[in-house]
């Protein structure tokens, strides 16, 4: 939550400078003053923002609905503007409830009376309307905007500020106070640390983000980077192995992605994740192609039947010659032969693969038997997977997804 | 995790198109092919990316260290490149452990064999090195990039894909599989929904973000917006009141901030949060100023002593006249008189305030007694807060911060 006073986040500066341009007054995080040295024209602010004035009838209505004196901040026009507050009262009158949300960015210095105003007023609303309150401490924002504060600092400041907030008299039975970082945990904490090391320009360069993209995309790269650091998983490693090194098996096209992750690691005192990277399984249609979801015949799916597999393999691009005579004379071009390539991925027996390579490559074996053998091999792989997948229950899924220490990490 | 095959996230497209520009081949999410129709030149990719080839000595070393045949994908050069894999082996040889991280973006169509390759290989590494594995399902990314899929869809697809992953044979005692959304919970789910509704351009306009800012800043606005929607707090409201309306008490300078939140609400089928907005407590130094942390004399801090308060109030900007004769003739200018303004914030008794307004404004009361009264009032406020804060224990802080249902929400 942006603070009501004191040091502020840059967004407010810009926001309010925009505002000030259109008005003869300066309203920014560091000062609120009228250029002519007079008072702030709150009417102009209301007009500019398009919110509504709190009028006497609204105050009287609060008085009637809560059957108690409206808070002095309401009577004296301190809380002077609103949006849809009248609708809240309409529905409250019909018996519908609502909840209150306020908060603050944890500040290093002691709070002053201006800081307490929203909390004093929120506490009054909680009592008067008998409604729950959520209070957000934006220690994540404070960390992201601060040049000096560490995550540990902003978390500590949040807890200190929370003591001042509680002192305003909130009811623990209807109040939830949370620090964004403590509430979300160590995984989020690492996404923050990573997200502070990567500029928008760099993200645009690596990931091609553009202005019309949703801001949510900007938030994602740190989420994929976080698992590279063991401290993201306190529950797994119980904080014992916060610098346990990470090895990432992935396809080669992921390399630029994790280069970003490796670049930030030293700045966070984390060890760089290592990578082991694969080639692409080629399309059944050609060596120079990658399987595409758009052409089902270019790939073998784990749901394919033996019949499907046989059909696809037989129509796969072959390096064998058109007729047996040619094949016997010239042999197959193994460099472009898809069935042979697939065998090299999925046929475990080195000796047999070597045999096929020699016989087929030198023309003593025709493409038919090679495709026949590949059909057998792939059918076995797919059948094995199909059986195994069918045996996976929801309970098993929950067991793997359970947040827990890993009982036999290194056994 | 970006998928190894099939539909991909935009970042890869850009990444790999950049790559392709510098090479005579196209390597992008939809195809991997050489412009000359030949094979992909993996040597050029390795050279361009700056990773290393997996050579025979490395494979032999894996063989020796794991005392079992290296996986076929390693023997046949499917996993052909690496970064620091040798360092992983060095430390493993010294007895240091590591962990494995892989994942995928949940896909709607059935998996094909290309999708299984990283999981088959990761499962082998888990067995061979006896190390833990974390597997990330990026249902958040899938949602953010998808034009059609809802959060519920990508969460469901993640669980379906997890069944295929488990079927590869991972050991539940050393494997943690997580969906980003399920793992982080409903608060994060709402930040995603919000973050998908706000473009980078809009965020730049509202918050003044710039290219040199860290991407982490882009991630923050949705975090401040999320508490405006009750569904962010399943634990509080137990999912019973997912559309419970929210009222936000805040200072007027927050209005543009929550306008963004209100704008996205209807797109998420959430009710708009209402606002009730306050003026600023002025600086002790002038009506047209706001208190500033830089000038401690401009504000009353909750840590100030009676002596501090007396001193600050006496030096506050007064609308009273310089001498009693003038004051008696002209009266005080209450429009600019800070002590009177502060009394209007903190003196609860309407009758007494009305009396002071009349007497002081019409010159029958001098500024001295007004400042005297204000000192009493502020001392009482600050003392009350100081006592209350001193009584706040860490246990109380934990009680307010505990993730729990609110026992007496509306009592």
Instruction: Supply the ipTM of this predicted assembly.
Output: 0.89
User: What pTM was computed for the model?
Assistant: 0.89
Instruction: Find the range with the poorest average confidence among A214-218, A315-319, A322-326.
Output: A322-326
Q: How far apart are CA A159 and CA A355, in angstroms?
A: 70
Residues B9, B20, A336: CA angle, nearest 5 degrees: 100
Q: Between chains, do A288 and B116 touch, taking CB under 8 Å as contact?
A: no
A369 contact B CB<8A: no
Residues in B 25-84 with any Cβ partner in A closer than 8 A: 27, 29-34, 37-40, 42, 45, 49, 51, 54, 72-73, 75-84
Bridging pattern class, strands A245-251 and A274-278: parallel
Q: Identify which has the larger pLDDT, B288 or A314.
A: A314
In the predicted model, what is the mean pLDDT of residues A139-147?
Answer: 95
Per-residue pLDDT tens over the stretch A124-138: 999 999 999 999 999
In whole numbers, what is the pLDDT of chain A averaged over residues? 88
pLDDT of residue A345: 97
Percent of chain A with pLDDT strictly greater than 70: 88
pLDDT of residue A230: 94
In the predicted model, what is the mean pLDDT of residues A306-319?
Answer: 95
Q: How confident is the model at residue A387 (pLDDT cuts 50, 70, 90)?
A: very high
Per-residue pLDDT tens over the stretch A166-217: 999 999 999 999 999 999 999 999 999 999 999 999 999 988 899 999 999 9
pLDDT of residue B239: 63
Q: How many CB atoms lie within 10 A of CB B283?
A: 24
Q: How confident is the model at residue B322 (pLDDT cuts 50, 70, 90)?
A: confident
Our CA-based measurement puts residue A326 at a distance from the nearest CA of chain B, in whole angstroms, of 23
Q: How far apart are CA B132 and CA B109, in angstroms?
A: 29
Q: Between chains, do B174 and A27 touch, taking CB under 8 Å as contact?
A: no
Question: For an interface test with A, which of B2, B4, B37, B101 has the most A Cβ atoms less than 10 Å from its Cβ?
Answer: B101
Q: Between chains, do A274 and B228 touch, taking CB under 8 Å as contact?
A: no
Residues in a beta bridge with A133: A100, A175
C-alpha distances in Å from residue A140, one per residue of A183, A332, B66, B167, B344: 11, 62, 43, 39, 35
- What ranges do the domains of chain A cover? 7-284, 296-390
Q: Options 1.10.760.10, 3.40.50.11810, 3.30.420.10, 3.40.50.620; which CATH number does B7-284 get?
A: 3.40.50.620
Nearest to B224 among A1, A208, A262 (CB): A1
Q: How far apart are CA B103 and CA B112, in angstroms?
A: 15
Our CA-based measurement puts residue B108 at a distance from the nearest CA of chain A, in whole angstroms, of 10
In the predicted model, what is the mean pLDDT of residues A18-40?
Answer: 48
For residue B170, list chain A residues with Cβ-Cβ distance below 8 A.
Answer: 400
DSSP run (H or E) holding B277: strand B274-278
pLDDT of residue B27: 46
B236, A176 Cβ separation under 8 angstroms: yes
Domains B7-284 and B296-390 share a fold: no
For residue A200, list chain B residues with Cβ-Cβ distance below 8 A.
Answer: 200, 209-215, 217-218
Per-residue pLDDT tens over the stretch A72-111: 999 999 999 999 999 999 999 999 999 999 999 998 778 9
Does A38 have pLDDT greater than 70? Answer: no
Does B283 have pLDDT greater than 50? Answer: yes
Q: How confident is the model at residue B25 (pLDDT cuts 50, 70, 90)?
A: low
Looking at domain B296-390, which CATH architecture does it have?
Answer: Orthogonal Bundle (1.10)
A230 contact B CB<8A: yes
pLDDT of residue B256: 80
Our CA-based measurement puts residue A108 at a distance from the nearest CA of chain B, in whole angstroms, of 10
Does B31 have pLDDT greater than 70? Answer: no
Best mean pLDDT range from A243-247, B21-25, B37-41: A243-247
Q: How confident is the model at residue A292 (pLDDT cuts 50, 70, 90)?
A: low
Per-residue pLDDT tens over the stretch B323-375: 888 888 889 999 999 999 999 999 999 999 999 999 999 999 999 999 999 99
Q: How far apart are CA B171 and CA B162, in angstroms?
A: 13
For residue A244, list chain B residues with Cβ-Cβ distance below 8 A.
Answer: 97-99
Q: Between chains, do B10 and A401 touch, taking CB under 8 Å as contact?
A: no
pLDDT of residue A20: 41
Nearest to B292 among A31, A134, A177 (CB): A31
For residue A397, list chain B residues with Cβ-Cβ distance below 8 A.
Answer: 159, 162-163, 166, 177
A132, A100 Cβ separation under 8 angstroms: yes
Residues B329, B331, B337: CA angle, nearest 5 degrees: 155
pLDDT of residue B288: 67
For residue B400, list chain A residues with Cβ-Cβ distance below 8 A.
Answer: 162, 166, 170, 172, 175-177
Q: How confident is the model at residue B17 (pLDDT cuts 50, 70, 90)?
A: very low
C-alpha distances in Å from residue B101, one per residue of A294, A339, B120: 29, 31, 13
For residue B217, list chain A residues with Cβ-Cβ distance below 8 A.
Answer: 10, 144-145, 200
């Amino acid at each position: 939550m942006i603070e009501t006073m004191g040091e502020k986040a840059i967004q407010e500066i810009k926001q309010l400078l925009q505002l000030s341009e259109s008005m003869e007054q300066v309203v920014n995080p560091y000062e609120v003053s009228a250029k002519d040295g007079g008072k702030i024209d709150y009417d102009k602010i209301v007009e500019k923002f398009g919110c509504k004035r709190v009028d006497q009838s609204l105050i009287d209505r609060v008085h009637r609905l809560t059957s108690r004196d409206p808070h002095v901040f309401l009577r004296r026009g301190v809380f002077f503007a609103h949006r849809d507050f009248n609708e809240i009262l309409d529905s409250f009158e019909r018996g519908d409830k609502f909840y209150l949300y306020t908060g603050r960015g944890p500040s290093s210095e002691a709070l002053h009376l201006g800081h307490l105003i929203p909390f004093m007023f929120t506490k009054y609303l909680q009592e008067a309307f008998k409604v729950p309150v959520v209070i957000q401490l934006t220690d994540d924002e404070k960390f992201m905007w601060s040049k000096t504060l560490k995550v540990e600092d902003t978390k500590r400041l949040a807890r200190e500020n929370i003591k001042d907030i509680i002192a305003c008299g909130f009811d623990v039975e209807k109040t939830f106070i949370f620090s964004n970082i403590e509430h979300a945990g160590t995984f989020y904490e690492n996404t923050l640390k990573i997200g502070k090391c990567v500029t928008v320009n760099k993200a645009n360069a690596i990931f091609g983000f553009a202005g019309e993209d949703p801001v949510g995309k900007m938030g994602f790269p740190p989420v994929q980077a976080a698992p590279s650091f063991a401290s993201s998983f306190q529950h797994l490693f119980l904080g014992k192995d916060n610098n346990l090194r990470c090895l990432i098996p992935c396809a080669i096209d992921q390399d630029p992605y994790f280069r970003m992750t490796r670049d930030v690691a030293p700045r966070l005192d984390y060890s760089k994740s290592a990578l082991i990277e694969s080639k692409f399984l080629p399309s059944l249609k050609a060596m120079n192609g990658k399987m595409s979801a758009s052409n089902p015949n270019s790939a073998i799916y784990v749901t394919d039947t033996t019949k499907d597999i046989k059909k696809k393999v037989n129509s796969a691009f072959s390096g064998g010659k058109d007729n047996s005579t040619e094949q016997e004379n010239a042999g197959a071009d193994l460099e472009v032969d898809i069935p042979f390539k697939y065998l090299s991925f999925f046929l475990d027996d080195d000796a047999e693969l070597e045999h096929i390579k020699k016989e087929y490559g030198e023309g003593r074996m025709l493409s038919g038997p090679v495709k026949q053998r590949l059909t057998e091999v792939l059918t076995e792989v797919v059948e094995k997977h199909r059986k195994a997948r069918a045996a996976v229950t929801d309970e098993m899924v929950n067991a793997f997804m359970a947040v827990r220490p890993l009982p036999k990490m290194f056994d």
